[in-house]
Amino acid sequence: MLAYDSYGEETAGAPILIVHGLFGSGRNWGVIAKRLSKSRRVVSVDMRNHGDSPRADSQSYHDMADDLAQVIESLGGEALVVGHSMGGKASMVLALTRPELVRALIVADIAPVAYEHTQAHLVDAMQELDPAAFDKRSDADAALARKVETKGVRDFLLQSLDLKEKRWKLNLDVLGSEMDKILSFPDLSASYDGPTLFLAGAESDYVLPEHRDRIKALFPNAKQAKIPGAGHWLHAEKPREFEAAVRAFFTL
């Protein structure tokens, strides 16, 4: 089963399940998870081929949704689900294929469509680094800067560099080979009628007006909202506003 961090006390209500995006981990969401756990138990998973979760040969959305279903079943059979980017797509597939497990859904800055936002260049950049060569994160950052200009992106990627174990906590080979699947979205005819919020960053180009028809076809009760001043990593850029939106939608 997927590795996860649990925050807060077990209560009678359904827990919140947080599902991170590509190259992320459950611990990236630690601050938001701790704050939300004052109202309800929160579980933040490491997706397959990320963090401390098992390695696998596939990164398909059906497989990722099955992983999430297993976690929710172990937690009691129902959850309030928050998924970002790749995790948002996996959460959508979960809701569409196993709706009984999802009491309500928040999809953060992603739509149920195929994208051309490939991250293959970041896989290549990380693969060029030898984790055994670094004792300090600053040295790894300097080396990664030759391929990745944006400091914020490097900081995010390097959270998955385990300096103690001298390894990436990402299965880079599989993430690279499965990139086309990660960019895609399964052709599903089902719909999820539960409460759904598509929460986007106002400065992001991931959720566009032309996606609305597809969103409504799959999620007929979906609402849409934007966080001003936020881009694709809206939960990291505007954590208080993101938390407030989650609390309001889940009525915590």
The catalytic residue among 20, 50, 84, 232 is 232
Is the dihedral angle over the CA atoms 60, 161, 159, 69 positive or is it negative?
A: positive
The DSSP element (H or E) to which 17 belongs, if any, is strand 16-19
User: Alpha carbon of 165 to those of 159, 161, 250: distances in Å?
Assistant: 13, 9, 39
The encoded tokens of residue 43 equal 């579980």
The catalytic residue among 37, 85, 91, 160 is 85
The catalytic residue among 173, 180, 193, 205 is 173
Active site residue 184: no
Q: With beta carbons less than 8 A apart as the criterion, state whether 248 and 231 touch.
A: no
Give burial (CB, 10 Å; 0-12/13-18/19+) of 36.
buried
Active site residue 173: yes
Active site residue 85: yes
Residues that are catalytic: 85, 173, 232
